[in-house]
Amino acid sequence: LYNVRSERELMDTIPERLDWLWFLGYDLDDDIPDHS
């Protein structure tokens, strides 16, 4: 759907997508968990 091929790429993409941050319940200044 969004052409995200790996979990690493997903975790790199989340901070750039405000709609994903909102859906996942993160604020703009929250730290996103590390992919590992």
Instruction: Identify the pLDDT of residue 1.
Output: 59
Residue whose structure tokens are 């859906």: 23
Instruction: Identify the pLDDT of residue 19.
Output: 93
**pTM value > 0.85:** no
Please report which residue ranges of the chain form alpha helices under DSSP H: 7-13, 18-24
Instruction: Identify the pLDDT of residue 26.
Output: 92
Mean pLDDT of the chain, nearest integer: 87
pLDDT digits (tens, 9 = 90+) for 1-36: 578 899 889 888 888 899 999 999 999 899 988 877
Instruction: Identify the pLDDT of residue 23.
Output: 93
Q: In this structure, what DSSP letter does residue 16 have? A: G
* Domain definitions of the chain by residue range: 1-28
